[in-house]
Every structure is written in C-alpha cells, then in structure tokens.
Amino acid sequence: MSQVVRTRPEGSGQALSEAYDTALLDLDGVVYAGGNAIAHAVESLATARAGGLHLAYVTNNALRTPDAVAGHLTELGIPTDADDVITSAQAVARLISDQVPAGARVLVIGGEGLRVALRERGLEPVESAEDEPVAVVQGYGGPELPWGRFAEASYAIAGGLPWYASNTDLTIPSARGIAPGNGAAVEVVRIATGAEPQVAGKPLPPMHRETILRTGAKRPLVVGDRLDTDIEGAFNGEVDSLLVLTGVTDGAQLLAAPPHHRPTYVDTDLRGLLTGQPEVVEAGDGFRCGGWTATAGPERLELDGEGGALDGLRALCAAAWTAAGDGTCALEATKALDRLGL
C-alpha cells in the first residue's frame, strides 16, 4: 500500500481499469485544461466505463457545482451525473457542519460551488462580516473574484471567527498556462490575519472521507496530475495512484519526489487506464524498464538504451527513489530527461 516507502513504480499484469473498481479522477490537468478535453481523455474514459470501471470525478476546484461540472463533462462527450462529482466545496461544507450549529451563517469567499455545498449541509451562506456569520470559508472564486472579498474575510477572521479553506493548491491549469489557485488567495488572507485555516481538500483526510462516503469505492485508484494533492492524498488514504503527465508535474519533479509524493503508476495520459503497467526490475547496479537501464552515479542519474520515453522515465524513477530512500533525490537528471524528450 501507499504508506510503504516506494522505490519504483509498480507493474500490473492487468489493465488498471480491470484491477480497480473505481477511478477517482482529478479534473484540471487530467480530464480537461481550460475547459477543453485533454487528448485521449474522452475515448479512454468511455472505454474504461464500458468495461465496468466506475468513474468518479474528484476536484479541489470549489468554484463550480457538481451539476455544472457534470454538465460540462457531458458536453465534452463524457456522460456524467452530478452524483459522480465530488468537490472540495462538499468536503469543507461537511467539515464546517460538524463543528457549528445547524442552520448557522457562514461567510463565503468564493463561488457558487461553495454556496450550494453549504446549503446541502443545512448552513446559510452570507456575504459580509456584518451578517453575523459564525465561520468563514474560502474557495477558488475564479479570476474575476474581487480583491475586496479577501478584505471581508480578513475582517471576520481578525474578529475571532474560525477560518476554513476548501483547498490550498497554489496553482491551477488553464488553457493559457498555469494560473494562481485558491492557495495563492489563502496566502493573501493568511498574511493579513496571521491565522491558519482548517483545510478540507486534497491531500487531507476530509476530502478522502468525502470521496469514499459518496462513491462507496472498495478498491479505488486515484488518478491525478499533481504530486502534492492527488498523489499525496492517495498516500494519506492508503490507496494506489496513477500519475498522468498532462498537467503540472514534469519529469524532474517526479524524480525528486519524496516518499509521500511517489505514485504507484506513471503514464502519459488517461490511456494508461486501459493497459497493464510494465515492471521495473533490478539490472546490475541499476534498474531496467523496456529497453532502458537507469543507474544512480555519484552526482547524476545515468540512462542507457533506447525505447519509449515512458519506460525510460520509470527506470529513472526507480534509480532516483532508491538513491533517495525516504528523502528527496538531488542527483542531476537533466541529460537523461533530455534524451527522453521530457
């Protein structure tokens, strides 16, 4: 399981869509970016679903409601019900409802997704610190969120109200590149108040709890593009994970991953759900995957052979993670990654 210190990506003789009962899929950077479907996502998910894999969409983005997310996925060609979408807004709303009286007012700094989630748990969203809220909740509000909303949160928190955040992702993928995420907005309020929020989203336990409660998954596979949310969340929940390289994580970051950021499997995109995963085996002083052999030298990672870039990356992961043990690998890998075009 994920709590073991992983020293190499695992292999699987079965297609991952057959080895697991539920795929817990991140959205931004995995299924779509900037509203557009990522290459191979639509057809891969359709094939996986047809084979019996339950698809659930788990997002730290608290802006949109599950209905809106499901509608967007359906428009992209991925038929989805609102019940198949789990958001950090839902997770933080449950966290708040466990700690405040039923029907309590909560100051919302964010979008409609937060308001709907609070109402679902019997809480009343309000817009001002003067509306007598008992708590403050902050979630991603999109690029048009007014700066004055952060001031409103600061006034309430400085007055002693507890502060909750849907998630603390510093960045979010967009069609034009990487943009500031809710974590960047949380930092603004933290600087103004000196306070610390209770956080619900990935990689923390409230999000995993919300996901399991809503999906009933028995053998889930977390699928994501971020080491510090998706993969760490799988580690914390002691479930397996698949990292896809369609979002924010690059090869260098993967090689330097500490134990709690090391995925079970690595693949290029969601086509990885439909296949088995090759084994990475010891080969002399290094590790072999496909036609590549990777070794850890005194100062850098070395790569020999030829073949698919992904096999080379898997071999490099084994060399880097083994050299690092339970720490972070600091060996130079630029030349090896350049050979793979990564």
Angle, helices 88-97/112-120, rounded to nearest 10 degrees = 40
**Number of residues that make up the chain:** 342
Angle at CA of residue 246, ends 286 and 278, nearest 5°: 35
Tell me: the pLDDT tens digits for 282-296? 999 999 999 999 999
Among the listed residues 168, 116, 109, the one whose alpha carbon sits nearest the alpha carbon of residue 141: 109
Checking if the pLDDT of 2 tops 60, the result is: no
Angle at CA of residue 63, ends 211 and 133, nearest 5°: 90
Instruction: Please tell me the predicted confidence (pLDDT) of residue 263.
Output: 98
- The whole-angstrom separation of Cα 125 and Cα 123 is 7
- The whole-angstrom separation of Cα 265 and Cα 221 is 10
Among the listed residues 8, 4, 42, 52, the one whose alpha carbon sits nearest the alpha carbon of residue 265: 8
Beta carbons of 7 and 16 less than 8 angstroms apart: no
Mean pLDDT in residue range 89-105 = 98
Mean residue pLDDT across the chain: 96
Query: Residue 20: what residue type?
Result: Y
What percentage of the chain exceeds 90 in pLDDT?
A: 94
3-state helix, strand, coil in the chain (%, to 5): 40, 25, 40
Instruction: Please tell me the predicted confidence (pLDDT) of residue 171.
Output: 87
| Tokens (6 digits) for 76 | 């992209």
- The whole-angstrom separation of Cα 36 and Cα 125 is 31
- Which residues form the catalytic set? 26, 28
Distance of CA 177 to the CA centre of its chain: 17
Mean pLDDT in residue range 187-214 = 96
Query: Residue 32: what residue type?
Result: Y
Tell me: the pLDDT tens digits for 294-314? 999 999 999 999 999 999 999
Instruction: Please tell me the predicted confidence (pLDDT) of residue 1.
Output: 42
Checking if the pLDDT of 149 tops 60, the result is: yes
DSSP structural state of residue 270: G
Mean pLDDT in residue range 201-230 = 95
Checking if the pLDDT of 41 tops 90, the result is: yes
Element (H, E) at 244: strand 240-244
What percentage of the chain exceeds 70 in pLDDT?
A: 99
- 105's CB contacts (< 8 A; 6+ apart) are 123, 124, 125, 126, 131, 132, 133, 134
Instruction: Please tell me the predicted confidence (pLDDT) of residue 3.
Output: 66
Mean pLDDT in residue range 75-101 = 97
DSSP structural state of residue 71: H
Element (H, E) at 210: helix 205-215
- The whole-angstrom separation of Cα 266 and Cα 318 is 12
Mean pLDDT in residue range 19-48 = 95
Beta carbons of 277 and 18 less than 8 angstroms apart: no
Instruction: Please tell me the predicted confidence (pLDDT) of residue 97.
Output: 98
With H, G, I as helix, E, B as strand and everything else as coil, classify residue 142: coil
Q: pTM, whole model, 2 decimals?
A: 0.91
